[in-house]
Amino acid sequence: MNANLYALFRSRFPNDLDDCWVETHDGYYFSWRDLERGTAKIANLFASLNLPAGSRIAAQVEKSPEALMVYLATVRAGFVYLPLNTAYRAEEMRYFIDNASPAVVVCSPENFGWVSQIAFRHGTKHLFTLDEPRNGRNSGSLLSRAAHHPDTFHTIHRTEDDLAAILYTSGTTGRSKGAMLSHGNLAANIRVLHEFWRWQPGDVLLHALPLFHIHGLFVAAHGALMNGSKMIFLPKFDTGAVIRHLPRCTVFMGVPTYYVRLLNDAAFDKDACDNIRLFVSGSAPLLTETFDDFAARTGHTILERYGMSETAMLTSNPYEGMRKAGTVGPALPGVSVRVVNKEGQSCAVDEIGDIQVRGPNVFSGYWQMPEKTAEEFTADGYFKTGDVGRFDSDGYLSIVGRSKDLIISGGYNVYPKEIESVIDEMPGVLESAVIGIPHPDFGEAVTAVVVSRDGATLSEAAIIESLKQKIANFKVPKRVHVVDELPRNTMGKVQKNVLRERFG
């Protein structure tokens, strides 16, 4: 049996391939036949490049149906997909390309100049823009090259253990780790979610999430593909556009920030949600206030779930039954989740401990980091999530904290050490500490606390402007506070809890 993930999705296509697969925000329609033929052409292009087995194909492109086709064609052709955040700058891209050594890099036309310098310097053999630049010059884009290839392709045979994708998830040391996800990992997870969330014939997904993130790609898009469902594609979240399209959809997935912004718009009411069957929230904790306000405004109860790049989804509040505010529900069927104390023993009900998981959805390890992989798994095969939580008497899990100072801002993971390293290199900076401060829109706002060197004068605006040139915007602090010294305990460790209290 071919365990290739594309083969699974192909088996779920509707009988009429001329049905709409994706409708874009500006009224363009792509059919399931377009998907089948488009991925075949791109897969044939990749095959013509004579790439070594297991080659990585990296993509840093704006969201579009064609971008999703590149991912599916990569998997269909038996290669490994590497999605990269469109906000990443040169320093970040340099690391990812050096570490993953992709054979192919696909980028947006406007980024071709600086991406090509990085890619070719680090051994990439093939670089494409996804489509043609706005100036109309033919750059030999991936889509124009693929157009000359046949529109049929025999999906490459893959086993469940074969690698399908690498998702980079930053570490507190500033060194990003590539989580290796197999065809079996991704298939197991979406099969469970398809049944657990009761996907139904005729469901339509309003897709407002990015495609470089596990939520938008492996939960939302996979869910629609597994169900043979039409998607309405928004290039990014826009409150007005979401409210306008909701009446034509049945499923919506978002991060807490989306729900906060919807509630802030008076046009978002019960009538707008009348056709929706399921609202899902993830990627960051949903405030109880948002949960309650949403139910009061719309009559719908948001379903909150919990997942990670390394594991896809682990737990979920039920589709049928009680959805508890402040929890992410019980473990999904076939997934084992436990909370343990520092001695590795299971915690009692409501006792806080470290969250660990085991199941067919859990990744095989970190790309080219065998030592790190070994550290993150227990002797009996559980992955240490790095999150801290507790189970209640009903078996619902609550995430009460995150180890290693992880900040989640607008649904994106931000690791303080990475930002601190950049700030500490700035002229006049002695040291810095980056913390997350509660924020009504983003969940947490990245905030920097900086100590200046003797005689130096630091400007908040100048630090923020400098950071915008070096790191992705979602990592740039919303505020920078200059202080005389950082609070430390007797062991010399910076007391970030004190900083959170002071600046929160």
Query: Strand 251-254 relative to strand 278-281: parallel, antiparallel, unpaired?
Result: parallel
Ramachandran region of residue 283, left (φ > 0), alpha (ψ -120 to 50) or beta? left
What are the φ and ψ backbone dihedral angles of 226, each rounded to 5 degrees? Answer: -65, -30
**CA 104 – CA 108 distance, rounded (Å):** 14
pLDDT beyond 90 at 29: yes
Sequence-separated (6 or more) residues with CB below 8 Å from residue 239: 261, 262, 264, 265, 268
Average pLDDT over the chain, rounded to an integer: 93
Sequence-separated (6 or more) residues with CB below 8 Å from residue 196: 316, 318, 319, 332, 333
pLDDT (0 to 100) of residue 139: 61
Q: What is the pLDDT of residues 302-320, one digit of tens each?
A: 999 999 999 999 999 999 9
Query: Strand 312-316 relative to strand 365-366: parallel, antiparallel, unpaired?
Result: unpaired
DSSP sequence for 420-485: HHHHHTSTTEEEEEEEEEEETTTEEEEEEEEEEPTT----HHHHHHHHHTTS-GGGS-SEEEEES-
CA angle, residues 173, 174, 177, in degrees to nearest 5: 90
Cβ(388)–Cβ(354) below 8 Å: yes
Strand partners of residue 488: 494
- Residue 490 — pLDDT band, cuts 50, 70, 90? very low
**CA 284 – CA 237 distance, rounded (Å):** 16
Sequence-separated (6 or more) residues with CB below 8 Å from residue 442: 257, 409, 410, 478
Of 58-67, 163-172, 274-283, 327-336, minimum mean pLDDT range: 163-172
- Residue 138 — pLDDT band, cuts 50, 70, 90? low
Q: What is the pLDDT of residues 164-220, one digit of tens each?
A: 999 998 543 457 899 999 999 999 999 999 999 999 999 999 999 999 999 999 999
Question: In the structure encoding, which two tokens stand for residue 50, read together?
Answer: 């004579």
Strand partners of residue 409: 412
pLDDT (0 to 100) of residue 172: 36
Tell me the domains of the chain and their CATH numbers. 28-158 (3.40.50.980), 195-404 (3.40.50.12780), 406-503 (3.30.300.30)
- Closest to 289 in 3D by CA, of 182, 472, 441, 424: 441
Cβ(246)–Cβ(204) below 8 Å: no
**CA 184 – CA 162 distance, rounded (Å):** 8
The answer, as to whether pTM is greater than 0.95, is no
Strand partners of residue 408: 413
- Residue 136 — pLDDT band, cuts 50, 70, 90? low
**CA 164 – CA 217 distance, rounded (Å):** 13
Query: Strand 407-409 relative to strand 397-402: parallel, antiparallel, unpaired?
Result: unpaired
Query: Strand 163-169 relative to strand 177-182: parallel, antiparallel, unpaired?
Result: antiparallel
What are the φ and ψ backbone dihedral angles of 126, each rounded to 5 degrees? Answer: -135, 125
Ramachandran region of residue 290, left (φ > 0), alpha (ψ -120 to 50) or beta? alpha
